[in-house]
Structure 1
Amino acid sequence: MSESKNLQRFPTRIADVGGIPIHRAIPQAALRKVGAWCFLDHAGPAEPPPPGMQVGPHPHIGLQTFTWMIEGEVLHRDSLGSEQIIRPGQVNLMTAGRGIAHSEEAQTLGVHAAQLWIALPDSHRNIPPRFQHYPDLPKTLIGDFAVTVLAGEALGLKAPAEVHSPLMGVDLLASDTPSPARASMPLREDFEHAVMSMSGEVRVEGEILPSENLIYLPAGTKSVNLECSPGSRLIIIGGEPMDEAILLWWNFVARTTEEMKEAQTQWEAEAASADDTINGQPRRFGKPVASALKSLHSPSLQGVSLRASK
């Protein structure tokens, strides 16, 4: 390993989302975000009992949800009226802005995906909500890997996803040959980056990267050397360090605890009613989601001390 490279290893924690086991890599106490990427779940691969992953309507504010599907199919419904099945090799991008609600319903038992959130900068965090589906993404080769550019720019290609901060995301799939796949991935020096294994045996700068870990590369890193067993998969995310202090709680990204409490109160009122107005005001999170699943309720904020992160 080059002496100039400063690899930091962070363990993930196990959680459950809609019946699917996930490795949650971001956020954690020592790593709150990577660029504007403020949340990273590695979901599956798993095949739970029927009906598979089912996540009822729930709200978001101040962020973009970013789903990269590797295996399986999931139906997205939201309060804008969107209905879209995401399939392997596709990206769903939902911009919450001032507020949106959505549900996620697996159409197959088996699911394998990366679920990420992007914190919207202060200039965009109250924009109107939007949903975008990207079935075709730019692809190229580097070394022994097939690369899909998921977000931002990498290797001279630009992903179509509309984001509001300087960032990048790529998926690398090792060639299915008898010998290990190798490549040196160039990185932007003004970005910080993180590498996560999605399947197979992955080595980063000669170090094994198990699925239970994420490797962080600080700004100033010019490239990263990869070596993987045939058919292995990993993702790399990166971005310009975000110097805005944000709060992340439940499904919300905000700047103050008061904003969190207001959004929580509004969601609970809207989840209990199909009326067009709530307490004389238009619905913040849009029309009720056209899902048969029950809406999720927020946990209590009582006694919770939220810590802003930069």
Structure 2
Amino acid sequence: MSNLDVKPAPTTCGGEPGTGPVRDLLTARRVPLGESTVVRRLLPNLGRRMVGAWCFVDHYGPDDIADEPGMQVPPHPHMGLQTVSWLHAGEVLHRDSLGSLQTVRPRELGLMTSGRAISHSEESPRPHARFLHGAQLWVALPDAHRHREPAFEHHPDLPTVTAPGLSATVILGTLDGATSPGTTHTPLVGADLTLTAGTDLRLPLDPDFEYAVLTMSGTVDVDTVSLDPGAMLYLGTGRRTLPLHATTDATFLLLGGEPFAEKLVMWWNFIGRTGDEITQARTDWEQGTRFGEVHGYDGARLHAPELPGLPLKARGRER
């Protein structure tokens, strides 16, 4: 999925040490995406730019798109990151410059590794389901892997973890001994958890990871903080367990990973290490080189916005 801001701000992130356990509630920013979708952008955030290597989180829906085109994101480029498509309702048709054509459905993993360069489009199929609800996430690639060849993976069957009142699907990484088949390049975890109303439990965590929770539906108390849909709570590091209580039937995403040590520049749909890299990527996209071509999308590709009138510098993620 694309960052469609017409004036995207340069984002500096990376390099923050562990914080210890905290409970920081992040406020979403509403951003239009394509023709008829508005998302709640939770990362990057004024108070928190990354969670492990997770560097971008959009939550959208549930939206009634019965009489709407739904998601319509034209071809656009990426570099230096992975995109994770995750649905609770609806379908997304993915096309990319590798020739991939794949419909991603609820609780299936669509994982695109941009590496040095890729372009793709995302759209609701025609016809499509009435409701669209999901999250789009990015993972920053470390320096050793950010110039790799691009790839796309689709994993319809993912491992699960169960306990009384709990069912968890492991999207990426490992949770409680269950490991996703999705390719990762840094120590991280992403999981989709469903709790039945009244469930109390303590979820095992890795104390070396930092974590955040994004509520998708229902109401859940996370370490005594009540979260409604669209709310994201940053939890810091140093936790071995996480107390959970479901006030209602609820679903939420758990995102975590080792604090990302590298300094980054993130602008529009590019992640690099220098401003010159970002400038060159924009030029390559506008000139039609390097990022390939997406075939089959009914419409024009996106043009890159103008670069900001200030130098793009890599910095640590400390504020």
TM-score, reference length from structure 2: 0.88
User: Do residues 185 (structure 1) and 191 (structure 2) align?
Assistant: no
State whether residues 121 and 294 of structure 2, in contact with CA within 8 Å, keep that contact through their aligned partners in structure 1. Answer: no
Structure 2 gaps of 5+ residues are 1-19
User: Do residues 29 (structure 1) and 46 (structure 2) align?
Assistant: yes
SS at the partner of 1:258? helix
Structure 1 gaps of 5+ residues are 271-282
- Distance in 1, matches of 2:230 and 2:209, equals 24
- Distance in 2, matches of 1:143 and 1:258, equals 52
CA deviations 1:212-258 (Å, max 9, x no partner) are 43111111111111112343110100000111001111101111111
Partner of 2:81: 63
User: Do residues 132 (structure 1) and 148 (structure 2) align?
Assistant: no
Q: Percent of counterpart pairs with the same letter?
A: 42
User: Do residues 170 (structure 1) and 186 (structure 2) align?
Assistant: no
Deviation larger for 122-131 or 139-148 = 139-148
- Distance in 1, matches of 2:228 and 2:309, equals 36
Deviation larger for 198-207 or 44-53 = 44-53
**Among 208, 212, 223, the residue aligned to 2:241:** 223
Partner of 1:158: 179
1:74-223 matches, within 5 Å, as: 74-107=92-125, 108=128, 109-175=130-196, 179-223=197-241
SS at the partner of 2:22? coil
- Distance in 1, matches of 2:259 and 2:123, equals 34
Deviation larger for 107-116 or 121-130 = 107-116
User: Do residues 39 (structure 1) and 60 (structure 2) align?
Assistant: no
Deviation larger for 25-34 or 296-305 = 296-305
- Distance in 1, matches of 2:189 and 2:270, equals 22
State whether residues 247 and 309 of structure 1, in contact with CA within 8 Å, keep that contact through their aligned partners in structure 2. Answer: no
- Distance in 2, matches of 1:288 and 1:21, equals 24
1:167 maps to amino acid: L
1:131 maps to amino acid: F
Figure out how many residues of one structure are paired with residues of the other and give that number: 292
State whether residues 78 and 119 of structure 2, in contact with CA within 8 Å, keep that contact through their aligned partners in structure 1. Answer: yes
Partner of 1:276: none
- Structure 1 runs (4+) greater than 6 angstroms displaced: none
Deviation larger for 297-306 or 240-249 = 297-306
Shift of 1:156: 0.8
State whether residues 198 and 234 of structure 1, in contact with CA within 8 Å, keep that contact through their aligned partners in structure 2. Answer: yes
2:304 maps to amino acid: S
**Among 280, 283, 290, the residue aligned to 1:284:** 290
What's the Cα RMSD here? 1.5
